[in-house]
Amino acid sequence: MYKIILILVPIITIYLFIDIYKKITENDNNKIIKNLEEYAKKEKIKQQESKILAKRTKRRARNKKENINVYN
């Protein structure tokens, strides 16, 4: 009887550890997949935004005197 118990205890503990490991990795995989989906949504939104990100500034009429640099 004791021999059977001594054989079954390590087998059961190993099975439990494997089961816990599987649950942990599944949770991690689900988190990674969810993060990738969110990233894909954000990238899709960025692509749908207008392509013009920065407008050109209007050229102002400046005094020619302002553009002249005087070196001593």
pLDDT in tens, 10-58: 899 999 999 999 988 988 989 999 999 999 999 888 877 655 555 556 6
The count of domains in the chain is 1
CA dist., res. 70 & res. 16, Å (int): 83
Q: Against a cut of 0.75, is the pTM above it?
A: no
In this structure, is residue 1 part of a structural domain?
Answer: no
CA distances from 33 to 2, 28, 36, 38, 54 (A): 47, 9, 5, 9, 34
In this structure, is residue 72 part of a structural domain?
Answer: no
CA dist., res. 29 & res. 27, Å (int): 5
In this structure, is residue 34 part of a structural domain?
Answer: yes
In this structure, is residue 16 part of a structural domain?
Answer: no
In this structure, is residue 12 part of a structural domain?
Answer: no
Which residue range forms the structural domain that includes residue 30?
21-46
CA dist., res. 28 & res. 35, Å (int): 11
Helix segments in the chain, DSSP class H: 2-48, 64-67
